[in-house]
Amino acid sequence: MNDVSIYMVGNDLQSVLDQYRSNQTFRIVIIPGYLTNKSVSKVKFSDYNALINAYGFYVSNVKVLN
């Protein structure tokens, strides 16, 4: 519940430059299930800005985890 892991999977990860593998920042949006059925129009979940706007999230409420 309080732990998130992000994995990089591929056939040839050794050829991926370190700048793309290390010290990256990810934006993760967690949407409670009860909110996803209330929207009449479907939101494109791969579009961060569309999610933020559709569900009324505010950048000021974003939590940074270290």
**pLDDT tens track for 6-37:** 888 888 888 888 888 888 877 777 777 776 66
Domain-wise residue ranges, the chain = 13-61
Among 10-19, 37-46, 54-63, the least confident range: 37-46
For 56: left if phi > 0, alpha if psi spans -120 to 50, otherwise beta; the answer is left
pLDDT band at 40 (very low <50, low <70, confident <90, very high): low
**Under 8 Å CB-to-CB from 10, ≥6 apart: which residues?**
16
- Mean pLDDT rounded to a whole number for the chain: 77
Mean pLDDT calculated for residue range 44-54: 82
